[in-house]
Amino acid sequence: MKRALTIAMLVLLAMPLLYAMSQLPPHGSATSPAYTHISPRYLERGPEEAGAENVVTDVILNYRGFDTNGEVTVIFTSLAAVLAVLLAGRKGDERPVREPAAEPSPPSVVVRFVVRLLGPFVTMFAVYVIINGHVSPGGGFQGGTVFGALVILITVVLGRSVAEKLQPLGVRRILQAAAPLTFVAVGVLGLALFGDYLAFPRDEALAWVRTSWLMVIEIGIGVGGAAIISAIFWQMGGDR
Amino acid sequence: MSELFDLVLIALLIACALAVIRTKDLLGAAIIFSTYSLVLCLMWQHRGAPDVAMTEAAVGAGVTTVLFLVAIGRTVRREK
Amino acid sequence: MIAMLWQNIDYVGSVVLFCIGLYCVITKNNLIKKFIGLNIMETSVFAFIIALGVVDGGEAPIMGAGASAPFTNPIPQALILTGIVVAVSTTALALSLIIRIYEHCGTIEADELREME
């Protein structure tokens, strides 16, 4: 009964959606309003004006940098919220003791060896994706996530103590806040030098400054993203 | 040819979504959802959006799945 | 009609996926299953917005040597890039809430939780 009602409701919902879809410009048309207003300018002047050959990077970090500034704050806030939810009413890092059904057998030698072998290559790929984000697909989020995935892999296979060596305790808090901090630093630098928050130098001769600022933000987002992802994973208890 | 590829990808997406609903085992549902993200990533790569495809592959198929697995590990595996 | 659907197959696919996700959210009882349904809804909206930016024969908007027009629209891509990362943040928060609910109540079935009040 409930299922039939739901399906009827969904059909009723799908009909206006499909009707609205039929009123849209046809898929792939180059004359649709979404494509004829701002995009041509971004596509034409983006590389000179904003400093990166990858126009998507231009849009997220330069033209709409304020939006991305808010977004990295959202990720940081989500880490804070996860910590608050999982640690509420508990002291420190302790979790309710639950008897494991059976002692998990440690991964075999082959798995451990392959993870040790892969580690440097995955790290190199992550760094490449971050550093090269302005000329090829990729950037801070993608590279940071790849490195975070490596930390998760090491935690699962080699244990949390090995993974934590990648992020020393003293600087871990700063690493987790790296993305918003870098963004605010670059924004305030723009405010001090050019009079607007997140303003980039406009001068033709300063193209290398624009590109290097983009790179600094990418590295900040990458480091912060990796630290936040591994911290969320550890806190949700994936290390057991 | 290109349209046929589109059709196959979209059919795969819908099949994955239906399989997620049908599966009673949450672990299986999480893995199928990861496949769904990968197919979506292929589709976006084919649509000329490699940045988004890369993000979806790393974040959607990687980290989201890991978080689901951790949550299933700390709660229950079977759906009632 | 069929020709229109065929040409707009991306949009049709997004609508179908959105409805499947909503069905999962409404009818499933398990909180994790509900959340996977919500994720399907999210990704269907992402797919729709990416489809809005597609241009026939368009290349990726990367202006290196050898790139030639037309390029796909970069703005929807940038918006969705942001959206995907925010989606994973909400997923992490919701899953940790589900873990706490399980520790507190011993179940993650919505109807059992409702009876518990």
User: Average of pLDDT values for A65-92?
Assistant: 86
User: Which of B2, B41, B66, B77 to mutate to test binding with chain A, by most A CBs within 10 Å of its CB?
Assistant: B66
* Lowest mean per-residue pLDDT among A103-117, A120-134, C14-28, C35-49: A103-117
Q: Which residues of chain A does C63 touch, with a Cβ-Cβ cutoff of 8 Å?
A: 43, 46-47, 53-55
Q: Which of A29, A43, A75 sits opposite C89 (nearest CB)?
A: A75
> pLDDT tens digits for A22-58?
888 888 788 888 888 888 888 888 888 877 888 888 8
For chain C, say whether B73 makes contact (Cβ under 8 Å).
Answer: no
Question: Which among A156, A132, A151 is positioned nearest to A142, based on CA atoms?
Answer: A132
Structural domain boundaries of chain B? 2-74
> pLDDT tens digits for A86-124?
887 766 555 555 555 555 667 788 988 999 999 999 999
Q: Helices in chain A by DSSP H: which ranges?
A: 2-22, 33-36, 39-50, 55-57, 65-87, 109-131, 140-158, 160-164, 169-176, 178-194, 207-235
* C-alpha–C-alpha distance, residues C22 and C43, integer Å: 12
User: Average of pLDDT values for C49-72?
Assistant: 83
* C-alpha–C-alpha distance, residues A225 and A143, integer Å: 9
pTM confidence score: 0.90
User: Average of pLDDT values for C32-52?
Assistant: 93
ipTM: 0.90
* C-alpha–C-alpha distance, residues B55 and A223, integer Å: 16
Range B76-80 contact pairs with CB under 8 angstroms and sequence separation of 24 or more? B76/B26, B76/C102, B76/C107, B76/C108, B77/B25, B77/B26, B77/B27, B78/B24, B78/B25, B78/B26, B79/B24, B79/B25, B79/B26, B79/C28, B79/C29, B79/C30, B79/C33, B80/C29, B80/C30, B80/C109
- Name all domains of chain C by residue range, CATH numbers in brackets: 2-54+71-116 (1.10.287.3510)
Phi, psi of A93 (to 5 degrees): -100, 5
User: Average of pLDDT values for A2-10?
Assistant: 89
For chain B, say whether A54 makes contact (Cβ under 8 Å).
Answer: yes
